[in-house]
Structure formats: structure tokens, C-alpha cells
Chain A
Amino acid sequence: MKVLVTAKRVVDYNVSIRVLGDNSGVDLNNVKMSVNPFDEIGIEEAVRLKEAGKAEEVVVVSVGSSACQEQIRTCLALGADRGILVETDEDMQPLAIAKALKAIVDKEEPGLIIAGKQAIDSDNSQTGQMLAALAGLSQATFASVLEIGDGTADVTREVDGGLEVISVKLPAVITTDLRLNEPRYASLPNIMKAKKKPIDIFTPEDLGVDVTPRVKTLKVTPPDERQAGIIVETVEELVDKLKNEAKVIS
């Protein structure tokens, strides 16, 4: 089985972002970029399937500017076999990304597709589900356990209130939640090896995909700042303030 894994280039989760003064977006100059953490969990899961003999090949795909090759290399160092970049400088929104990924799925015919449950920049949580819909495939979002069977997979999903297990027909699109696995760090020899692994590059035009944005961002503003309050000295004082000042407990 071939596993296709998505990887989005995003601002590193440790970076405190700053909204630009002209409210056109956030400042991405000289900001550390990384693989979306949920996609990293996806790569780890695919590599583990390969190590367990359940997958033969792990292909990582990214959609975006040519700089995304950096994140593809990271994934190759983590154990993916080869990379695909759908290269464009267009503002790529989930529907357009899903269409580009669908074209790659048609080309590669993977037995399983793994995507992150959301990207930590736009926080949309759409792409995996949209890809599944466009490709006519089953989906299992927010996965915390993945068990590959014969033509199906049992997936434990993190849902409001607890866990749910569903069985999906393969090929399926799985989106990862936090507890699916703990991703490894790339070793130096693997980082060196990754430099020799191939990356194929396509444009949306090559794939016949319309990536025109459907949503216009009118402005981006900072959220209302919350002011720090006071430091209380004792637990008694805290309880007193909550009862008599804030009046939130009785």
C-alpha cells in the first residue's frame, strides 16, 4: 500500500505572530516556518505503517510556494520516500488545496491518505474532509488510533465527550489528532539522506486545477487585549475577591 501524507508550511507554533500595521495580514518576514504539527503526526503514522510492513511507500505532498520544499525535505528526513510539490504563489485556500490534492490522488492512487486535522495558521480544519468529498472517499477525522485491516481501517476518533470507533473503506482520508503518536526527531544521517530523495514539482495548471480564491480577506486585526489584573497574596483574599468583587461564586 502506498500512503500519501500532506504537509503544510506554517509559522512555527512557538512564534508569537504580529498583525501588520496596515491590517493586511500577519508579519511573516524572518519568521521561523515549520511543518504543521498535525501533519508531522501524519508523517510519523505513515512511517510507522511502513516500518510495520503495512505500507510500501510514503509520499509527502505540499501545496504552496517553492519554499515548501524545505518542509518536504523535513518530512523526507523523518522517513517519507519521496515528495511532491504543487507549486503556486496564489493564496491557497482549503477548497483549492483539496482540488490540487485530489489531482495528486488521481495520479498516485494511494491506498491511504493522511492529513493533519487542522493547520495552526488558518485554523480551518477543512482540507482533509474536502479532499475525501472530492475524491469520493470515506473519511475519519481527528484520529487517535488507526488500525489497518483488509480493505478497511478501524479508526478511533476524538469526539466531543469521548471517543468513537468507525470502520472506513480504503482508500480513505484520515486526519490526525494529537494522541495518534508522538513524532520522532530526524537524525543527522537521515537529514543527509533526505537531500537525495526526489521531489516532483507540478503547477495547478499542469494538474488542470482552478485555484481562484473564493474568500477575500478584507482585513486582519489584533484581538482585544486582555488586561492583567491583580496578584492576590493569600487564598483567603482570592476567595474573598471572587465572592465579593467579581461575584462569580457564592
Chain B
Amino acid sequence: MSILVVAEHDNESIKAPTLVTVDAAQAIGGDVEVLVAGSGCASAAEAAAKVEGVSKVLVADDEIYGHQLAENLADLVVSLGSNYSHIMSPTTTSGKNFLPRVAALLDVAQISDISGVVSEDTFERPIYAGNAIATVQSLDAIKVISVRGTAFDGVAAEGGSATVENIDSAGDSGLSTWVKEDIVKLERPELTAADIIISGGRGMQSGDNFKMLESVADKLGAAIGASRAAVDAGFVPNDMQVGQTGKIVAPDLYIAVGISGAIQHLAGMKDSKVIVAINKDEDAPIFQVADYGLVADLFKAVPEFDELLD
């Protein structure tokens, strides 16, 4: 049994969701190989070779892989596919983009966003926004699987010594081209990697008011998130969204400010270790999952909280 993990990377380094995916691959068992497809990605490949428990790193270094375009990346993975029993990627926007394409071209099902490994062909995954957990068995020869970032601890980034092998590019499909990106340079930790998250909801009333959360976040070394309601209201950009249709997080501490706690939001954060809710509506459903609830006007409570952290 041999497993291929398609790495999430930025050509320089390997991203944390890759370590989580390797962890899930090891739970399945067998040889774990990592594919690094990128452009000028030698550093990322070196980093992948050091990841604990990886036996081989395959490197496809070609400008057509520079932006992880789904069509080209899928063609490359499919060209390698028949060598493996499992093909895995993290459930990131990149993994969600190319992996179903791989499955369809191999004529196999994909098991999305697994949260547990039962056996080599049977997995657990959340459905209905995490309100039910399905145990599913793949009947296909090749299992194509994406892995939920919060469900496994992740292996160590150092300690391995995999061999590195260069492989040929599978060519440009010519179907799509990358134009530009507008990636927010974060001064704070990424949502999916943060130990502490403070999130605002519709109760924040405006985007400006998120500055209150920024001050707290800076003192705690926290990331800032938002509910879908806050995104829909235009307070903050979509990449801050925590929930069923946004990012799934499980930090040590999650502070929900002015968030009512719709099931779609809870789906994205209820696996957090400690949950704090600050809301003036004592009937808000968020209090049903909070370890510590504070029924208060957030415009008074948050500045006070901020001051007490000094």
C-alpha cells in the first residue's frame, strides 16, 4: 500500500495542513510519498523531505504549477495516480479545487474532509454542517481523500530524511491562466493555525468596530475571525469567515463576540478546546456551547477585557 500526499506549499515552505494530511496518511498505514508541484519549489521540496515519516518526495518544478491551477495539477496527479492506493490532500481551497478533478479523471469517488480513519477503506466525515458524522466505506481501488485540518495533530516538520526525485511535468492544459492575486499579508497568525481566535459577528455593527478585536488579538497573539453574518453584512472579507462554508478551526481558545451561534457557525468552531461567548442576548445559542459565557454589551465588555490584559 502506497499513499501519495499532494503538498500544500508556497514554493518556499510546506504549509501546516500538509503535516496534518501526512498524519492522516500514517493513520491509514503504508508508505507515504509527498508530491510537491510548483515553480521554483526546490526549498519546499527540501522541507517536505524533512517531514517526519515521509519516504519519498516527488518534485514537479514547472512554471505551469506556480499557482496550483486545478487543470494542470490534476493532470499531473492523475499521471501518477495508478501507482498509489490512496491520493490525499488537505481540505484547503487548493485541495478542494483540484482533488475532485483527480477523482473524476480516475473514475473513482472522492471522500471529502475526513475527520477520522477507521480502516484503509473506511473513514469518518462530518455532514450537515457537522450535525452528523457519517462513517463511509470506499468501494474503489484508488481512494481519493481530503483531510480536515483540525481532525489530526499533524506530524513533525523535522526529523525525516526522504529521498527527493524530480518528475516530468504533465504539460499545460491551456484551459486557464492565472491573472493576479490579492493575498492579505497577515501580521497575525493564520486562522487555521492560531492557538487563540477572537471572532466578531453581526453584533459588531460595523467593520470599523473590528478594531476593538484587533487590539485584543495583538495582546493575545490571536487570529481574528468572523461569522458569516458579519461577512454578509460587509464588515470584513470572506477569508475571515469561520463556519460550514468558511474555515474550520479548533484553537485552544475561541472568543465569540456578538455572534449568535447559528449552526453554520458552530460547525466551524465547536471543536475548539475552550469557547468564550460575549453576547447581550442571554438566549443566544452560542451560550449552549460556551465554556464561559458573559451576557453583556460587547461595546463595554471588549474594551474592559482589553484593558485587563495589560
Contacts and interface: CB of A to CB of B under 8 A. Distances in A.
Contacts of A164: 67, 178, 180-183
A17 B296 contact: no
A43 to B, nearest CB: 17
21 contacts: A17-B128, A38-B245, A129-B101, A133-B74, A139-B101, A139-B176, A159-B93, A161-B184, A162-B181, A162-B237, A166-B67, A167-B177, A172-B176, A177-B245, A217-B134, A218-B135, A219-B134, A228-B290, A229-B291, A235-B305, A246-B274
A235 B203 CA distance: 18
Give the dominant DSSP class at A's interface: mixed
B174 A169 contact: yes
Contacts of A249: 196, 220, 253, 309
B27 interface: no
Contacts of B62: none
A123 B133 contact: no
B143 to A, nearest CB: 10
A123 B74 contact: no
A65 interface: no
Interface stretch (B36-44, B52-60, B106-114, B157-165): B106-114
Interface residues of A, number: 80
Contact of A215 (B111, B178, B183): B111
Contacts of A140: 176
A72 to B, nearest CB: 23
B294 interface: yes
A144 B138 contact: no
A36 to B, nearest CB: 11
A220 B97 contact: no
B299 interface: no
Nearest to B247: A160
Contact of A162 (B67, B137, B183, B232): B183
B109 A222 contact: no
Interface string A172-189: 100001110000000000
A226 B289 contact: yes
A170 to B, nearest CB: 10
Interface of A: 11, 13, 16-17, 19, 26, 38, 93-95, 98, 117-118, 120-134, 137-142, 144, 154, 157-169, 172, 177-179, 213-223, 226, 228-232, 234-236, 238-239, 241-242, 246, 248-249
A144 B241 CA distance: 14
B108 A214 contact: yes
B70 A238 contact: no
Contact of A214 (B138, B253, B301): B138
A232 B294 contact: yes
Interface string B83-113: 0000000001110111111111101111111
A134, A168, A228: residue with the most chain B Cβ atoms closer than 10 Å: A228
A232 B275 CA distance: 13
Contact of B136 (A133, A218, A223, A238): A218
Q: Which 4 A-B pairs have the closest CB atoms?
A: A229-B291, A138-B175, A129-B100, A130-B104
B131 interface: yes
Contacts of A132: 70-71, 101
B292 A238 contact: yes
B27 to A, nearest CB: 18
Given A160-B93, A229-B290, A239 B309 contact: yes
Contacts of A216: 136-137, 139
A134 B164 CA distance: 32
Contacts of B282: 231
B117 to A, nearest CB: 14
Nearest to B264: A13
Nearest to B228: A178
A42 to B, nearest CB: 14
Given A126-B103, A163-B181, A168-B176, 6 more contacts: A121-B128, A123-B126, A133-B100, A157-B93, A162-B184, A246-B292
A40 B125 CA distance: 25
A169 B135 CA distance: 38
Contacts of A219: 134-135
A95 B108 contact: yes
Contact of B181 (A144, A165, A223): A165
Contacts of A165: 178-181
B187 to A, nearest CB: 13
Nearest to B278: A238
B104 A134 contact: yes
Given A130-B101, A165-B181, A214-B139, A232 B293 contact: yes
B129 interface: yes
